[in-house]
Structure 1
Amino acid sequence: MSAARDVHAAARAVLAERDVETKLKGAERLWAEWNAGQLQTADSAEPVAPDFAGRPERPLLVPPNQLAKRTLRDREGHAALIHALAHIEFNAINLALDAVCRYPGLPEGFYRDWLQVAAEEAEHFGLLRDHLRTLGYDYGDFPAHDGLMQMARATADAPLARMALVPRLLEARGLDATPEIQQKLRGYGDAAGAAILDIILRDEIGHVAAGDRWFRHLCSLRGLTPEAAYRDLLGRYRAPRPRRPVNTEARLRAGFSEAELDALLDRD
């Protein structure tokens, strides 16, 4: 039986991959290898993450204010919305893999969680891309923005901030937005697209919960109160607060408390 490979280096190789198909297969393979005991954490305390995640030449990345508003007025607008969702999932693969290779020295459960997330995000991307192709388009056919990866770069040296501001903030916003998007898709006659979002919402609750779990673990190591630390990080990084309407049920299942949601939303 061959020796187990270094999980950090293995994740780095997939993270740096630019080809979409190779990255998807790589994320799925890493999760299978972890479950088969073929990957192990390294003793080194040095991160092995590349400076930038690998991505294909397309889509063209532009500032968010240069993106046209995605509406379901026609086939192109419909495809643009599905493309935007697929782009989020592609970035989420990179974000999960980045956590595996950027933050060594954490419990094995941390790497198990983010390898599972990477594999599930790859599945989500594949479902959305296949659906996009039924509309006559493919990933890369529309411009996109890089907001998730910008926050990843801003928190590269701070795992506490990364857990707080990527899964627990930006990805949690997806929990809030998904029911409204599903309603619009069903109204447009896209029951298949809405059904894909059922799968994604189910899994994303678990992904936000993983971020919440490790955020609280890191707070405990530092003697911090999670709710106060979260508010502090929002201010320090000038991060946006949750937008209304908030999917309270999904956020509670992902680890937020009622008191925290009330404070974040300034509810009485």
Structure 2
Amino acid sequence: MNSHRAAGNEVVASRTVFGAPCWVSLTTHDLDAAEAFYHAVLGWDWRVGKLGDQYRFASVGGVPVAGVSAVEAMGHAAVAWTPFFAASDANETVARSQERGGTTAVGPLSFPPGRAALLADRDGAVFGVWEGELVADWEDWRRAAPVFVQLHTRNAFDAAIFYGEVLGWASAAAGCCEVDYEDERVVLRNEGHVVARIHSGAVEAAPDPAIRPRWQIHFAVADVDACARAARENGGRVLEGGTGAAEAVLADPDGARFVVNSRSAQ
């Protein structure tokens, strides 16, 4: 999959992205309230794009960084932040997920200029796949948007095998992701950049049945404390961290969780 950058009146391919997170999207009950909250907490600006008023785009410095849709527009999906991974063929990716015990919640559906599907892995963690032209140049998006995405799951190695086979990690495909094990986490890199981590605890520990598997989105911010205060002042909650910490787990007014990390701690 190629990302594209405008060059004068031309659109040129910038680099190949395959199997890496390429977009994050929020489902919510109240689009206007979500816009106001994330503008106050993260400073995002918002616009309505080609998909209509039920899907809106956030931007930082003119770079699209995230989307938000009404719950009803995504087949009554749960209120949550979801990472989307670049796929060369959405149908094949969905089929590989189903063959390995994953489930399909939505799609693949056409959202010009591409196709999307909403899936869940064997343990129930929800993720999306995107086939088509990227919303923003991948490198620009990485600088302006999430630091990384992290999967909290019961068994990191089992999860890495599932996602590796479904998304083509560590394959011979151009632009695919490399997988390593570091500090008791599976680490996913694309051209040397950390783009995702999978964590389930110490390698010698038994899988934890109490963990509710989920992908968590991490955004880089200048001031974690300021984001935590803004979240409280605008109807959200601070679930972990804040007040001098390098990161904080926040929830928006609708209950969707996300993480803010200090840029200086990266």
Higher strand share: 2
TM over 0.5: no
Higher helix share: 1
Q: TM-score range by the shorter chain?
A: under 0.3
Q: TM-score, normalised by structure 1?
A: 0.26
Q: TM-score, normalised by structure 2?
A: 0.26
